[in-house]
Amino acid sequence: MELRTLRYFVAVAEELHFGRAATRLHMSQPPLSRAIKQLEADVGALLFIRSPAGVMLTPAGTVLLEEARALLDHADLIRARVSTASGVPAITVGILGDGTDPAANRLATAFRRRHPGVDVRVRNTDLTDPTCGLSAGSVDVALTRAPFDQTALMVRTLRTDPVGVVLRADDPLARCGQLRLDDLSQRRWFRFPQDTDPVWQSYWSGGRPREGPVVRAVQECLQAVLWNDTVGLTPLGHHLPAELTVVPLVDMAPSRVVAAWKEGETNPLTRSFIEIATAAYRH
């Protein structure tokens, strides 16, 4: 079982769609599908239930997802320690979600132009860790969204995005031009696992406890709305399937895209990353 194949599996499990996962991995879909079929043969279990609309994890797939995430995190940490010991200049960047924001792409291009010899390791994380591994010490800098527990962290706001509620397109509320949180008080919401950062959890649940399916990744949020008629919050401007829509919320504070790093950080590459990120998100 290769680490590369596990990364492929995690991408499909988080996107719940082979096409989106292939785009995220910068590869074509046929070799991705073959790799997952080989993985299923290696573990001796079906990992996904496939349909024309996408895929769903089987119980075996759910177990493997948890184990694969832990294994890949540990592998990334080993690689970082070895690179440090070898003297190769390196930086590990944590990115919330799939990192498809155009500003993040501008940041990557500008950073590579300024630091062509640096080993840049990128760690995409799900929605349950808004520090993207920064608090755990597995990344040097995080490109994420606030608010979250900022203990021992420094945060710079790069952009603010208005927030809306994601709904099925045939939901009666989808016809409204705007909504308030009180309009959603009787609805089921997708929510994060119980041990998720409480500051982060409170923001994305509109400031109060909610009932509904537990999710970890963006695509799981969208599938919860599509299949279970739940609702939840999202920054405006994201591309959504035709079956879903977003209605702006007038009484929600904007979501802040931020760069975060540890207090007392001395790595000059981290300081350079913050500087370049500030310029990239200004355009």
Q: What is the pTM of this model?
A: 0.72
Closest Cα to residue 247, out of 174, 144, 194? 174
Closest Cα to residue 39, out of 73, 11, 6, 69? 6
Task: Report the chain (283 residues): mean pLDDT per 10 consecutive residues.
Answer: 88 88 84 92 92 86 91 77 70 81 90 91 89 90 95 94 96 96 95 92 94 90 91 89 94 95 88 94 82
User: pLDDT digit string (tens) for 99-143?
Assistant: 668 899 899 999 999 999 898 988 888 899 999 999 888 899 999
What is the DSSP-derived secondary structure letter of residue 254?
Answer: P
R_g (Cα) of the chain, nearest Å: 19
Residue 82's alpha-carbon distances to 79, 85, 89, 266, in angstroms, are 5, 5, 11, 19
Calculate the dihedral angle through the C-alpha atoms of 199, 201, 204, 206, rounding to the nearest 10 degrees.
-80
- What three-state secondary structure class fits 101? coil
Closest Cα to residue 36, out of 77, 73, 76, 6? 6
User: Hey, what domains does the chain have and what are their CATH numbers?
Assistant: 1-87 (1.10.10.10), 89-159+255-283 (3.40.190.10), 163-253 (3.40.190.10)
